[in-house]
Amino acid sequence: MIEINFPSDFNTNLLMLFRWLHFVGGITWLGLLYFFNLVNVPFMKELDAATKGKVLPSLMSRALWWFRWASVLTVLMGLAYWGKIVAVDARNGGFTSAVPMASFFVIWTVAWALMYSCLIPGEGALDKAPVLTVIYIVIVLAAAALFLRLNDHGWESNELLAIGIGGGMGWVMMLNVWGVIWRAQKKIIRWTADNAANGTPIPENAKYLSRQVFLTSRANFWMSFPLLFLMGAASHYPMFGK
């Protein structure tokens, strides 16, 4: 008979719970993100206005509920787990968690703000996805390089650094979900439902907001690939640190 021995100490179980919830949240979030990008965008284009008026509000309000709360669960559980990794590394190195933690939030929040400031559809070159892609890649690379530069004392582990960058992208993606996608989508859903029920005209601004959502959702879609690479690399592919 194979013996099953669950670890009995509290910390191991708590971390396992964080990790497990992190995966559950991540799968729900990215599953929906991939559904939006790979299935829903082309599908919605095929619908006529009346069908769209029926389908969009009901489908999107449900899907976006799971989408945005899964993003919160993933990021909170990831941060809790990362906080533990940072604390152990810092203790071993004779430091505190202050620099990795503070640099994480400052760098990646500023990166998000810069990306958001370039999101002005209709403004010439910035409306073009390839142009925005290049700008976003430069911003993410600069943020990653700065994070590595500020955290190179020698005691930072591969886990700390890989998640400091991959998790930073996750943080940016969550700010996109709440700060751009949901903010715009809740208006679009309301206008579409009003239009279907009462014939209220859809405001002109809807086109601008839809384009913002599209570009941001695509950016999150592409960012999820290096993010997942770095999540996997944290414990299984030593590439950072001294």
Residues contributing to the site for ligand HEM (CB under 6 A):
22-23, 26, 29-30, 74-75, 78-79, 81-82, 85, 159, 163, 167, 170-171, 173, 224, 227, 231-232, 234-236
Nearest residue to 226 (alpha-carbon basis) of 131, 93, 95, 137: 137
Contact between residue 160 and residue 85 where contact means Cβ atoms under 8 Å apart? yes
**CB of 45 or CB of 242, closer to ligand HEM:** 242
Nearest residue to 85 (alpha-carbon basis) of 11, 30, 171: 11
Residue 171 CB, nearest distance to ligand HEM (Å)?
Answer: 5
**String of b and e for 132-155 (b: at least 16 CB within 10 Å)?**
beebbeebbeebbebbbebbeeeb
**CB of 92 or CB of 235, closer to ligand HEM:** 235
Report the C-alpha gap between 30 and 73 in whole angstroms: 12
Residue 58 CB, nearest distance to ligand HEM (Å)?
Answer: 26
**CB of 157 or CB of 185, closer to ligand HEM:** 157
Contact between residue 66 and residue 28 where contact means Cβ atoms under 8 Å apart? yes
Residue 237 CB, nearest distance to ligand HEM (Å)?
Answer: 9
**CB of 30 or CB of 213, closer to ligand HEM:** 30
Residue 22 CB, nearest distance to ligand HEM (Å)?
Answer: 5
